[in-house]
Amino acid sequence: MCTVTSATGCGGDLTAPSGGPVTSPNYPGNYGNNENCEWLITVPEGSIIILTFDSFDTEERWDFLTIYDGASDNAKEIKKLTGRHSQISPIISTSNTMFLRFTSSRRISHQGFQFNYTSSSAGQCWDPGVPANGNRDNNSNFTSGQTVRYTCMDGYQLRGTANITCQPDGTWNGATPTCEVTSVTGCGGNLTASSGGPVTSPNYPGNYGNNENCEWLITVPEGSIIRLTFDSFNTEFNRDYLTIYDGASDNAPELKELTGDQSQIIPIISTSNTMFLRFTSNKRVRRQGFQFSYTNSSRIRLVDGPNEGVLEVRPADSWTWGRVCAEHFDLRDADVVCRMLGYIWANGFSIFKYGSSFVVSHRPRLAYMADLQCNGNESSLFDCSYAGWGIHDCQNRRYSGVVCGVVTSQYFPPCIYIYVMIYLDPSRIRLIGGSGPNEGRVEVRPEDSVTWGTVCHNRFNMDDADVVCRMLGYPNATQVRNDAYFGQGTGPIYMDDVRCDGNETSLFSCSYAGWTIHDCDHGQDAGVVCRTYSSRIRLVGGSGPNEGRVEVRPADSPRWGTVCHNGFDLKDAEVVCRMLGYPNVYGVRPYEYFVAGTGPIYMEDLQCDGTESSLFNCSHKGWGIHDCEHSDVVGVVCDHIRIRLVGGSSRKEGRVEVRPADSMTWGTVCHNQFDIKDADVVCKMLGYPSAQLVRNDAYFGQGRGPIYMDDLHCTGDENSLFNCSYPGWTIHDLNCNYDQAAGVECTAQPFLLVTTEDGIFQIEVKDGSKVNVLSGWHLSLDYDPMTDFMYWTTDEGIERARRDGSRLETIVEFETNTYGRSLRLDHAGGNVYWSDNVGHISVARKDGSFVRTLLTLQGFAERLVLDPRNGLMYWVSNRDSIDRAAMDGSNHTTIIRNLTLALSIAIDYTENRLYYSDREAIYSSDMLGNNTQLVNREGERVPGIAPVPRPMEDVGSFALRIQKEERAPAGIYGNCRRMD
């Protein structure tokens, strides 16, 4: 009798006692779209089936291999596989049949999979094999109760269980371990163990050689991060360097550059499972070098962020993550969790109920651990006492969550989740040595350290001081005090050569030499004096300093509280904005636009007439007297424009007028030395690509008010006129008067930027001529007129380049099997937002720093659009609904449901309405998804919408999306950005 051992093509029946390889269609090539393949494995009665995989790679969350413990899909599901897996534990049936079904979508295809199977009778196990670079005892008797013992060769580390035992049901009680490299000698090498070291510079502890160029690549299991620690470090300062990159090569973002003699180095932590290190020395002085070790957190993670979220763990031999039950989970357990992740300690916890965004955004998982009882000193959570792996009674209802770092206390309604708060210090910046809290020596600290240090005064100016003061709740700075004016500090000098443009929300977002890199001493410590008149009012939770929830505090208390929206109108908002240094109010926003407040509700029924200098001079119920909830607090958006064109025949031309950051009084710019380079900067600030003409001698009429600026010298590359050289605010020649006011005409010739299968093209709207800027396929495209950079997504990350194709760089790298679906720039906030194919919506600065995942969705987001004035983002969700969330990822909600094939979405910023398509029709609604109207029925699918005109001052451009089915210039289709 002949039995089938393998099947080619799409499915089949396998009847041999063992067989394989069995593959997906066309393996090792890619399988096809819309596959539906079924395999039935049948072995002799009384046996069980052991399934092992050689490889597995499918499109994650779209293409699945489902395995059932029986003869059909009516049997119990054993496993559902999707995505890419480097290792899959053997899958074992409980009977002599196993049914497998593979389905693929109509989208992207991957290589697929290859598997083998064997059968085993009760009490007999299969041969577990010998790991590479390892040994096992000379035992070939794999019967019930027999143990196999493994060891590794010198220089390798055993990963997994050293001893595995054959069980009565014919399975092993653990997976076959692996032997991985733990250390290398000489100049560089590859390290593949999950932890390793010591790794040293050449000839350590002797001196390294001249002209060394050594490279190490550390690779730990997928899903892990790497924590690098140094035992010693001594190289020639500013000559010999160890550079550490957050990825597999020197193309990845730089984590740290080390040089000199450093007695203590804070642990360096990657964001992925690879880390690349390069050591270079010159031909001069040699030193002892360095010694480091590394570990990984491959079995523990916090979902939704590096330092906060739901606690998840996994077995040593499995990649399936599970949760930890909340019963008996306390601060000692949390201490151990945070130390494993590279943080310091826990000193408080609270209970969060259902409603916590980082809990409910994830479906319930397995529960692996319960009744944890750590004493707090363990190095690993798995060393603590607990009920047993997989033994619990929490039934997917109560799980542990952890926060490592600084958090703001929040309240949620009644509870089913525990949320533990791990604190370092409530801030990372402070003022020391002044006569009041608003002035002093600037001191900062690293995010992962409690040691405070100073900032060197080299290049430290008012722009930097403004950022410091805003971080501390003040509107801006009034003075810079250098040369240790407030006394010399102690401890490290952390920052030097700080260069802020004045608009940043954090000093750490500014350019500087690097953490602890400086050439000064404590006699050069920087200090500031902050403006105090608004130190009792602030805006919190917005996308920039000019917007957010209104918070106030009593004169005799440091505790902040909120303002109720009852009776609050534009007159009250005008007073708020003036207190904060803004000339006008843009709008009043209800609570849903910003995160709900905490603490007391201080004010209600405010009745300002709009002329007051302080909100506290307005009539209200009384301090702390109210009848509203935190869901009723009010927010404000202030107008933060500091430059405008006045007197022209269109918005692209006029007399240049500016104002100080702390004043609402507009003034002019004198035309002395004012040339096309200065005009270019003015036009780029206003969202135009460049200047066309300089118009001096009060060409657009004489101004009024102060003459603020004179003798301007811009290079043309600045992003703000206020960053150019000039004598000083209100300093000008005596002969400069209102008839010498400078004016400009900005370039307004529209052009299209189009991405197609052949590359990115610039198309002149006037004559349809086109220029190929970059070749190759680029996905969702956006343009920043302020910097003249284009941004787009690829299947590897986010890239950008100048509009002429120069300065091409990757600013964000995606994980394997991830690609971007939609990208949009937040010009006001200086951020780039994108969605990807695995359901994430993420944000980063425009330079690729500070990457953060805002939302993890069930499905995917397409056609992402931003409403920065209201701090909101909208997207098409799974093509059947329109969703909305705040731009920080909070308050996610579905506003339009039950669509059949939604392909596009756009915002009309003039009318404040939302437009979207569903199959052949175009609809509009208000920004809440209400008041829906049918706009047009096209007779064919509508893949793109572009309401025009869109005001330039909103975000600097308006969107025009062109697809195959729409008309387009010169046969072009793709994703476009138009500028006028």
**Residue-range domain boundaries for the chain:** 12-121, 134-181, 189-298, 300-356+364-405, 429-531, 537-638, 643-747, 751-898
> What is the pTM assigned to this prediction?
0.33
User: In terms of Cα–Cα distance, which of 74, 114, 81, 76 is closest to 94?
Assistant: 76
pLDDT exceeds 90 at position 197 = no
Per-residue confidence at 18, pLDDT binned at 50, 70, 90?
Answer: confident
pLDDT at 396: 47
Confidence of residue 533 (pLDDT cuts 50, 70, 90): very low
Q: Which residue has the higher pLDDT, 700 or 651?
A: 700
Q: What are the tens digits of pLDDT across the range 246-286?
A: 889 998 888 889 999 887 787 787 877 889 999 999 888 88
CA pair distance 552, 419, nearest whole angstrom: 28
Task: Give the SS3 label for residue 380.
Answer: coil
Average pLDDT over residues 131-136: 80
Q: Output the pLDDT for position 213.
A: 93
Output Rg (C-alpha) for the chain, integer angstroms. Answer: 31
CA 810 → CA 251, 252, 668, 791, 798, distances in Å? 8, 9, 41, 10, 6
Q: Tell me which of 295 and 408 has the higher pLDDT.
A: 295
134-181 and 300-356+364-405 agree in CATH topology: no
Q: What does the pLDDT read at residue 944?
A: 60
- Could you say which DSSP state residue 127 is in? P
**pLDDT confidence of residue 965:** 31
Q: Note the pLDDT of residue 750.
A: 63
CB burial readout 430-464, b (16+ within 10 A) else e: bbbbbeeebbbbbbbbbebbeebbbbbbbbbbbbb
For 887, the token pair is: 């731009």
The CATH code that applies to domain 643-747 is 3.10.250.10
Contact between residue 263 and residue 271 where contact means Cβ atoms under 8 Å apart: no
CA 666, distance to chain mean position in Å, is 38
Average pLDDT of 967-979?
33
AA letter at 149: R
Report how far residue 864's alpha carbon sits from residue 821's, in angstroms, rounded to the nearest whole number.
9
Mean pLDDT of the chain: 78
Helix (H, G, I), strand (E, B) or coil at 682: helix
> pLDDT per residue over 629-651, tens digit each?
877 888 888 866 778 888 887 67
* Residue 814 to residue 561: CA distance in whole angstroms: 40
- For 300-356+364-405, give the CATH class: alpha beta
**pLDDT of res. 24:** 93
Superfamily (CATH) of domain 537-638: SRCR-like domain (3.10.250.10)
Q: Which residue has the higher pLDDT, 611 or 873?
A: 873
**In whole angstroms, what is the distance from residue 61 CA to residue 317 CA?**
23
Cα dihedral sign for 159, 147, 88, 380? negative
d(CA 966, CA 972): 10
Distance separating alpha carbons of residues 128 and 165, to the nearest angstrom: 10
3-state secondary structure string across 180-220: EECCCCCCCEEECCCCEEEEECCCCCCCCCCCCEEEEEEEC
| Residue 975 pLDDT > 70 | no
- How far apart CA 973 and CA 756 sit, in angstroms, is 6
Q: For 579, phi and psi rounded to 5 degrees?
A: -60, -30
Contact between 129 and 142 (Cβ < 8 Å): no
Tokens of 467: 């950022």
Q: Using pLDDT thresholds of 50, 70 and 90, give the confidence band for residue 703.
A: confident
- Which residue's structure tokens are 């009084």? 665
- Superfamily for 429-531? SRCR-like domain (3.10.250.10)
- CATH number for the domain formed by residue range(s) 189-298: 2.60.120.290
- Enumerate long-range contacts of 180-188, CB under 8 Å, 24 or more apart: 180/156, 181/155, 181/156, 181/157, 182/155, 182/156, 182/157, 183/155, 184/216, 186/214, 187/212, 187/213, 187/214, 187/279, 188/214, 188/215, 188/216, 188/279
The CATH homologous superfamily to which domain 751-898 belongs is TolB, C-terminal domain (2.120.10.30)
Topology, domain 134-181: Complement Module; domain 1 (2.10.70)
Give 628-663 as a 3 state SS string: CCHHHECEEEEECCCEEEEECCCCCEEEEEECCCCC
For the residues 492-516, what does the mean pLDDT come to? 86
pLDDT digits (tens, 9 = 90+) for 706-742: 888 988 889 888 878 888 888 888 888 877 888 889 9
The pLDDT of residue 449 is 63
Around 493, how many Cα atoms within 13 Å sit in the side-chain half-sphere? 21
Q: What are the distances in angstroms from CA 58 to CA 48, 115, 220, 836, 839?
A: 27, 14, 22, 16, 16
pLDDT at 808: 82
Q: Percent of the chain beyond pLDDT 70?
A: 78
CATH T-level topology, domain 12-121: Jelly Rolls (2.60.120)
Contact predicate 879/901, CB 8 Å: yes
The one-character DSSP state at 672 is T
Tell me how far apart the alpha carbons of residues 549 and 881 are, in angstroms, rounded to a whole number: 29
pLDDT tens-place string over residues 845-869: 887 877 888 899 888 888 899 887 7
Q: What is the pLDDT of residue 617?
A: 84
How many angstroms separate the Cα of 800 from the Cα of each of 228, 333, 958?
A: 31, 44, 19
